A and B are shown apart, each in its own frame.
Chain A
């Protein structure tokens, strides 16, 4: 399995190759965001058009199809604002925290990104979701939130992929997900 540096090189080369073919799509930054992960994502022009979750309408009670409305109180709940594009299990429910993996897991170095709206300060932040790997799925606090989530051909915004690339010992099984901020979406 590849470590982060080679993964970066791959996507850099890939994005340039494809971009050279299709100038109408400005996706270099988006590919770069997923490739470089935490290290450089804040510097990249992440596309955030239409992908910021904003609380404008109250959801119907218990309606999973209603507009997703973020809250800033309970990190264990799927509607916590940083979980705006999580498809998996919240690590804070299984021995980890909002930004750290549980004991015994392996932290992936790659990530997918989303712009999430914090209702408390009114700002949006870029979240680089990272998977904690090397154990079976935690099965605790499962969430399917897809604010701004894009199809697999836009992998940097796709949350169906097992993002365990770069985890120590090449561990690729999925346990849970953390939601660190890597920059302000502005």
Chain B
């Protein structure tokens, strides 16, 4: 690097570059060049990618000036836009271990490239439109970083520019602050309304009209959690009693009815079920791998016969779910993906090294993918053929896999401090 720059300084081109008042950037470069030239020489191989790029750009610029064709090879910086969104646009949320300031990374699953990122506050809940045209988050910030006046808000971003296209303040500090659960905040299938959960002072659901960019209000619900929309005005929740509550919003009080009990008290359902608003299929595993499935419609909840991820022999060997986002559902192929490993009881949140693929119709195991590394969250794209996304919180890395072969297509590193949640569109 130093040798290159020293040579450059001896050329007429560089002298012109340093003296070029018309090029504002050159004036800033001059002291840096002088400083670098005085430093001990370093082998070219030691250059970082950034240093090499800067040197090459400087050389191109100098060459252009020397040949009397300034501008022919010059850079013309712009602000990029992300490509048109598709089913393989992946959003990785990093709650940064309960930090007050967080990030969400936007990734192209095809190239394995980071397209951009957005900032969030305390434990934001991400959502993405069914056609991928926008993504949004319900978030919380405080006036003095981690203390002072609290403000809850919904922020909507254009999928290409990543600029906010709506910023809606939620009055009364209503959001439930909990380790990020994908279905504690949800979009209705028409992408026009965002629903979010409130825990205190009483279980409630808040309504945000994204079209009008307005907060509509909040109403009490029974002792129920999670939000699974099936239409513009109807959604379901799972209740403590082991039922599903159907809630229909209208002009007056919402209409609420509860289904039959579909799981026992000892069948502990994980906090991160998989749900397809497009089909209404809810896939909800229990800690031990029992798979509950419910087809949700505006008419009612239809409970399918439960399946098992593991055989009795495997259960005896300690096979069980584990991680954060432990289940995914691929609607076109009707397949369930489960993150699991052998573990002791009550280790249900520690990472896993295997993905089990189960036919959602028959319960037949299609395959078991041996990842060979620790994984905390999984999700899939909804196209065909599709991609499997595997997130390692500890490594701060996401891998893009071919779900048929288990081959790693891409690995994306440096995803913040403790990335936990993968969001994809229900295309």
**Do B351 and A14 have beta carbons less than 8 Å apart?**
no
Known: A68-B347, A174-B98. A25 touches B147 (CB 8 A): no
**Do A88 and B343 have beta carbons less than 8 Å apart?**
no
**Do B202 and A10 have beta carbons less than 8 Å apart?**
yes
Measured between beta carbons, the chain B residues less than 8 angstroms from A136 are 99-100, 145-146
What distance in Å separates the Cβ of A165 from its nearest Cβ neighbour in chain B?
Answer: 6
Checking A152, A164, A173, A174 against B225 with a beta-carbon cut-off of 8 angstroms, the contacting residue is A152
**Do B343 and A22 have beta carbons less than 8 Å apart?**
no
Measured between beta carbons, the chain B residues less than 8 angstroms from A155 are 199
Quick check: is B342 within 8 A (CB to CB) of the other chain? yes
**Do B261 and A146 have beta carbons less than 8 Å apart?**
no
Measured between beta carbons, the chain A residues less than 8 angstroms from B271 are 151-152, 160
Quick check: is B407 within 8 A (CB to CB) of the other chain? no
**Do A153 and B146 have beta carbons less than 8 Å apart?**
no
Quick check: is A41 within 8 A (CB to CB) of the other chain? no
The docked-state distance in angstroms from the alpha carbon of A27 to that of B181 is 24
**Do A65 and B225 have beta carbons less than 8 Å apart?**
no
Q: Which residue of B lies closest to A134 (CB)?
A: B147
The docked-state distance in angstroms from the alpha carbon of A53 to that of B176 is 29
Binary per-residue interface labels of chain A (145-186) against chain B in the complex, 1 for a CB within 8 Å, 0 otherwise: 011111111110000111011000111111100000000000
**Do B344 and A144 have beta carbons less than 8 Å apart?**
no
Quick check: is B239 within 8 A (CB to CB) of the other chain? yes
What distance in Å separates the Cβ of A31 from its nearest Cβ neighbour in chain B?
Answer: 8
**Do A65 and B200 have beta carbons less than 8 Å apart?**
no
Measured between beta carbons, the chain B residues less than 8 angstroms from A53 are 346
**Do A165 and B346 have beta carbons less than 8 Å apart?**
no
Quick check: is A61 within 8 A (CB to CB) of the other chain? no
**Do A64 and B97 have beta carbons less than 8 Å apart?**
no
Measured between beta carbons, the chain B residues less than 8 angstroms from A139 are 97, 99
Known: A21-B241, A135-B146. A7 touches B268 (CB 8 A): no
Measured between beta carbons, the chain A residues less than 8 angstroms from B239 are 18, 153
Checking B123, B201, B223 against A7 with a beta-carbon cut-off of 8 angstroms, the contacting residue is B201
What distance in Å separates the Cβ of A105 from its nearest Cβ neighbour in chain B?
Answer: 9
How many residues from B make CB contacts under 8 Å with A?
54
Quick check: is B84 within 8 A (CB to CB) of the other chain? no
**Do B179 and A87 have beta carbons less than 8 Å apart?**
yes
Measured between beta carbons, the chain A residues less than 8 angstroms from B225 are 152-153
What distance in Å separates the Cβ of A87 from its nearest Cβ neighbour in chain B?
Answer: 7
What distance in Å separates the Cβ of B410 from its nearest Cβ neighbour in chain A?
Answer: 26
Binary per-residue interface labels of chain B (187-222) against chain A in the complex, 1 for a CB within 8 Å, 0 otherwise: 000000000000111110000000000000000001
Quick check: is A70 within 8 A (CB to CB) of the other chain? no
How many of chain A's residues touch chain B, expressed as a range?
Answer: 35 or more
Quick check: is B173 within 8 A (CB to CB) of the other chain? yes
The docked-state distance in angstroms from the alpha carbon of A170 to that of B202 is 16
**Do B200 and A149 have beta carbons less than 8 Å apart?**
no
**Do A153 and B344 have beta carbons less than 8 Å apart?**
no
- Interface class of chain A by DSSP: loop
Quick check: is B230 within 8 A (CB to CB) of the other chain? no
**Do A6 and B97 have beta carbons less than 8 Å apart?**
no
Measured between beta carbons, the chain A residues less than 8 angstroms from B322 are 65
Measured between beta carbons, the chain A residues less than 8 angstroms from B177 are 161-162, 164, 172
Quick check: is B378 within 8 A (CB to CB) of the other chain? no
Q: Which residue of B lies closest to A144 (CB)?
A: B349
Binary per-residue interface labels of chain B (245-273) against chain A in the complex, 1 for a CB within 8 Å, 0 otherwise: 00000000000001001000100111100
**Do A66 and B147 have beta carbons less than 8 Å apart?**
no
Q: Which residue of B lies closest to A149 (CB)?
A: B346
Measured between beta carbons, the chain A residues less than 8 angstroms from B344 are 57, 59, 65-68
Known: A150-B268, A153-B239. A162 touches B98 (CB 8 A): yes
Quick check: is B134 within 8 A (CB to CB) of the other chain? no
Measured between beta carbons, the chain A residues less than 8 angstroms from B270 are 151
Quick check: is B142 within 8 A (CB to CB) of the other chain? yes
**Do A22 and B200 have beta carbons less than 8 Å apart?**
no
**Do A137 and B346 have beta carbons less than 8 Å apart?**
no
**Do A148 and B202 have beta carbons less than 8 Å apart?**
no
The docked-state distance in angstroms from the alpha carbon of A57 to that of B181 is 33
Quick check: is B122 within 8 A (CB to CB) of the other chain? yes
Measured between beta carbons, the chain B residues less than 8 angstroms from A68 are 344, 346-347
Closest 10 CB pairs of A and B: A160-B179, A67-B344, A65-B343, A22-B241, A162-B177, A136-B146, A173-B146, A64-B350, A137-B98, A18-B223
Q: Which residues of A contact B (CB under 8 A)?
A: 1-2, 6-7, 10, 14-15, 17-18, 21-22, 24-25, 27, 50-51, 53, 57, 59, 64-68, 87-88, 134-137, 139, 142, 144, 146-155, 160-162, 164-165, 169-175
Q: Which residues of B contact A (CB under 8 A)?
A: 96-100, 122-123, 140, 142, 145-147, 150, 173, 176-179, 181, 199-203, 222-226, 238-243, 258, 261, 265, 268-271, 322, 341-351
Given contacts A21-B241, A171-B147, A173-B146, 6 further A-B contacts (CB under 8 A): A66-B347, A137-B96, A162-B178, A170-B150, A172-B122, A173-B100
Mind listing 19 A-B residue pairs with CB under 8 Å? A14-B203, A17-B222, A22-B243, A22-B261, A25-B240, A25-B265, A68-B344, A137-B96, A139-B99, A146-B348, A149-B346, A152-B271, A153-B239, A154-B268, A160-B178, A161-B176, A162-B98, A170-B150, A174-B98
